[in-house]
Amino acid sequence: MIPGLKRSFEGHVLTLTFDRPQKKNALTGAMYEALTEALRHADMDDQVRAIVLHGNGGTFTAGNDINDFIATSGDFTDFPALHFIKQLAICDTPIVAAVDGAAIGIGTTLLLHCDLVYASPAALFVMPFIDLALVPEAAASLLVPMRFGLAKASELLLLADPINADEAHRIGLVNAVVPSVDVLKIATAQAHRLAAKPVHAMKTTRRLLRGDCKVIVERIYHEAELFRDALRSDEARDAFTQFLSRNKAG
């Protein structure tokens, strides 16, 4: 049993649930490692034909645990988050996300690697890297302008403007906005539809749709080096301390 991650499996669909609601499902190193292993095994297991990602307690995920940013050793090749992102980018099994509540940082960037995304009206998407004195990750610097255009990418990654579910639907980050009570049910139903399709053709079609995986992984590593350098900066450290102390302040 991995703290912070739940797994369930039914009818060829693996459901991975971020389950740390008291910390808004912020992702720890242990959670990333468990997610990476789950994705790796899913690709090796013929019985797993689709994956659903979602978060418990009305938040998708508040992104990387800020405490881990502070504690990091600085060797980016050791970042559990990097292994997760890479595994997600090379994953052959189709992935459907059910987003209820906040999807922050990697909570939004991981969606760029999902095939279908369903969001509740309470969903909120933001990539606040710049405000933390950080840089984009998960190949967002490549995929966000490619998918939404440079003007929108500048709003999302330079201004770090949050977008709500309707805007995310309008720009094509999410497939549909559905009631909160239905979001997991609908995502799961779509995962079952994907799981019922011919497996080999599904994997091949996904690869064709996603483009050159090598280019995406190269960008992930390039961003990670820059991210590592940014993490060490005084302005980033100040931003982390400010976030963690804000509730205590008053």
Q: Which residues bind ligand COA (CB under 6 A)?
A: 23-24, 26, 59, 62-67, 102, 104-105, 128-129, 132, 243-244, 247
- Residue 93 C-beta: closest distance to ligand COA, Å: 26
Cβ within 8 Å of residue 43, ≥6 positions away: 91, 92, 93
- Of 62 and 173, CB closest to ligand COA: 62
Question: CB-wise, 62 or 183, nearer to ligand COA?
Answer: 62
Q: Please, which residue, 85 or 195, has the CB nearer to ligand COA?
A: 85
Nearer to ligand COA (CB atom), residue 209 or residue 249: 249
DSSP assignment string, the chain: --TTEEEEEETTEEEEEE--GGGTTPBPHHHHHHHHHHHHHHHH-TT--EEEEEESTT-SB--B-HHHHHH--S-GGG-HHHHHHHHHHH--S-EEEEE-SEEETHHHHGGGG-SEEEE-TT-EEE--GGGGT----TTHHHHHHHHH-HHHHHHHHTS---EEHHHHHHHTSSSEE--GGGHHHHHHHHHHHHHTS-HHHHHHHHHHHH--HHHHHHHHHHHHHHHHHHHTSHHHHHHHHHHHHHHHH-
Query: 62 vs 178, which CB is nearer to ligand COA?
Result: 62
Least Å distance, CB 231 to ligand COA, is 10
Considering beta carbons, is residue 59 or 87 the nearer one to ligand COA? 59
CB of 205 to ligand COA, least distance (A): 32
Residue 64 C-beta: closest distance to ligand COA, Å:
5
Instruction: Report in angstroms how near the CB of residue 158 gets to ligand COA at its nearest.
Output: 15
Which phi and psi angles does 14 have, rounded to 5°? -95, 125
In whole angstroms, how close is the CB of 127 to ligand COA at the nearest point?
8
